[in-house]
Chain A
Amino acid sequence: MFLSETDLQSIWLTLRLAGVVTLILFVVGTPIGWWLARTRSRWKGPIGAVVALPLVLPPSVLGFYLLVTMGPNGPLGQLTQALGLGLLPFTFWGLVVASVFYSLPFMVQPVQNAFEAIGDRPLEVAATLRASPLDTFFTVALPLAAPGFITAGILTFAHTVGEFGVVLMIGGNIPGETRVASVQIYDHVEAMEYGDAHRLAAVMLIFSFLVLLALYLWRPSQKNT
């Protein structure tokens, strides 16, 4: 077999993590993107900046804060314990929470751009035809913004696959639970298993290239819509 059992397990885990995070961010990111695209509130700037923070922050900063806030003495940790969920660090769902923060801008920004590109006119037309705001959103805004959603989904998925620093800091490297492919490669390198590291790294490289290639090949058609 080209890849070992544990390598395949880490890849499967990575895909599962990226899939779950992308789904959650579709739900969480869409209203944020919509609000940022439509609002004239003075909070637009600050909220937009907060959403963009993970683009700039070192993963160690995010990882450190998450480790402390999700720990037994942190606010998030006390909340999850009170809810009977236990502690999040070293669990799959802990990684999901961390990745939702980490990948947030990759979802929100393309969605926001897509909504902004629609402009006011189609929405106003819909309103004159007596469509309710919710109706307008689902039947006019969402279909028009669909290309932006596809870009956002691909970027979010790919970025979560490429995550490393945050996972290293809060994951605890548990096989099948938190040992994603990037961490598995790091482990191989540290253990001087360079052959294994090469194989898995090549898989990641090819995967990332194909994802971006799909995105770029698909993009030109976007102009026609």
Chain B
Amino acid sequence: MNTFKPTVLALTLLAANAAVRADDVQVAVAANFTAPMKEIAAAFKKETGHVVKAAYGATGKFYAQINNGAPFEVLLSADESTPTKLIDEGAAVAGTNFTYALGTLVLWSSKPDLVDDAGKVLASDAFNKVAIANPKTAPYGAAAIEVLTGLGLLEQVRPKFVTGENIAQTFQFVGTGNADLGFVALSQIMANGKIRGGSAWIVPGERHQPIRQDAVVLEKGKDKPAVAALMEYLKGDTAQAVIQSFGYEI
């Protein structure tokens, strides 16, 4: 037992020492940004020693959680309105919000030949369901509705809607083949700068309002060096290159 106490002491000192140099940052990340965030977090840790603790999910859910005391320090939102709203309500730090990525909407199928490069499949009967993210809460869902409205197909296609609670679930409905088609984020089907499989129509940006994804520092992350470092890092070349490689515009 005698050796136990010094060991605990040594570990405690080690932990305390590490905490001075490297810190944790609690980040709430929009589901569509999951894959790029993992890469960015790894690179950020290598460069600065700070550890990103990320939670991935629907922006609307994060909004509710942040308003009810969730320990997040940064929000990488799927839209621009939620960060603004949080600032207005005093839950986020004014002046820290900026657009870290512009989302690209894509009509995707896990079947290789189903989707043509103009989305004409939407006007046909060749699919069972089309998955979209909940348009009330997810910007990609709202953009999908806008695209369908523009094509004049909204009412025709609506009976075939299945709604994911966020863009990750929407992707899952299509990825498992349960829905033939789905409007997802290009970032979800990209790997190493290429579309991973199936067939896709990258929806031209002029068909919907730009999907501006804003980041913001939350009250709990105010004046914390590691948080400021992450915000700067997101604007830097390394992060921006990762973001672009997943099909986002900047």
- Taking Cβ atoms with an 8 Å cutoff, the residues of A that contact B are 67-68, 70-73, 86-87, 89-90, 168-169, 172-174, 186-187, 189-192
Chain A residue numbers with a CB within 8 Å of B163 are: 172-174
- Shortest beta-carbon distance, B183 to chain A, in Å? 14
Chain B residue numbers with a CB within 8 Å of A168 are: 165, 169
The answer to whether A90 and B64 touch across the interface, beta carbons within 8 angstroms, is: no
Task: Say what secondary structure dominates the interface of chain A.
Answer: loop
Q: Any chain A CB within 8 A of the CB of B179? A: yes
The answer to whether B173 and A192 touch across the interface, beta carbons within 8 angstroms, is: no
The answer to whether A67 and B165 touch across the interface, beta carbons within 8 angstroms, is: no
Q: A87-B178, A89-B178, A173-B165 are in contact. Are A192 and B129 (CB under 8 A)?
A: no
Chain B residue numbers with a CB within 8 Å of A70 are: 178
Q: Which 7 A-B pairs have the closest CB atoms?
A: A172-B162, A190-B60, A173-B163, A72-B177, A191-B136, A89-B178, A190-B137
- Shortest beta-carbon distance, B81 to chain A, in Å? 11
Select which of B161, B165, B173, B177 is within 8 A of A190 by beta carbon. Answer: B165
Minimum CB distance partner of B61 in chain A: A190
Whole-angstrom CA separation of A72 from B127 in the bound complex = 13
Whole-angstrom CA separation of A192 from B136 in the bound complex = 10
The answer to whether B162 and A174 touch across the interface, beta carbons within 8 angstroms, is: yes
- 23 A-B Cβ contacts within 8 A? A67-B172, A70-B178, A71-B177, A73-B176, A169-B169, A172-B162, A172-B179, A173-B162, A173-B163, A173-B164, A174-B162, A186-B165, A187-B137, A187-B165, A189-B61, A190-B134, A190-B136, A190-B137, A190-B165, A191-B60, A191-B137, A192-B60, A192-B63
- Chain B: interface residue total (CB-CB under 8 A): 23
Chain A residue numbers with a CB within 8 Å of B137 are: 187, 190-191
Select which of B129, B134, B169, B172 is within 8 A of A90 by beta carbon. Answer: B129
The answer to whether A90 and B165 touch across the interface, beta carbons within 8 angstroms, is: no
- Shortest beta-carbon distance, B56 to chain A, in Å? 14
Besides A187-B165, A190-B64, A191-B136, 18 other A-B contacts (C-beta < 8 A):
A67-B172, A70-B178, A72-B177, A73-B176, A73-B177, A86-B128, A90-B179, A168-B165, A172-B131, A172-B163, A172-B164, A172-B179, A173-B134, A173-B163, A189-B60, A189-B64, A190-B136, A191-B60
Minimum CB distance partner of A186 in chain B: B165
CB-based A-B contact count at 8 angstroms: 63
Whole-angstrom CA separation of A68 from B177 in the bound complex = 9
The answer to whether B64 and A192 touch across the interface, beta carbons within 8 angstroms, is: yes
- Shortest beta-carbon distance, A6 to chain B, in Å? 12
The answer to whether B176 and A90 touch across the interface, beta carbons within 8 angstroms, is: no
- Shortest beta-carbon distance, A186 to chain B, in Å? 7
Chain B residue numbers with a CB within 8 Å of A89 are: 173, 178
Whole-angstrom CA separation of A217 from B61 in the bound complex = 38
Q: Any chain A CB within 8 A of the CB of B58? A: yes
- Shortest beta-carbon distance, B122 to chain A, in Å? 18
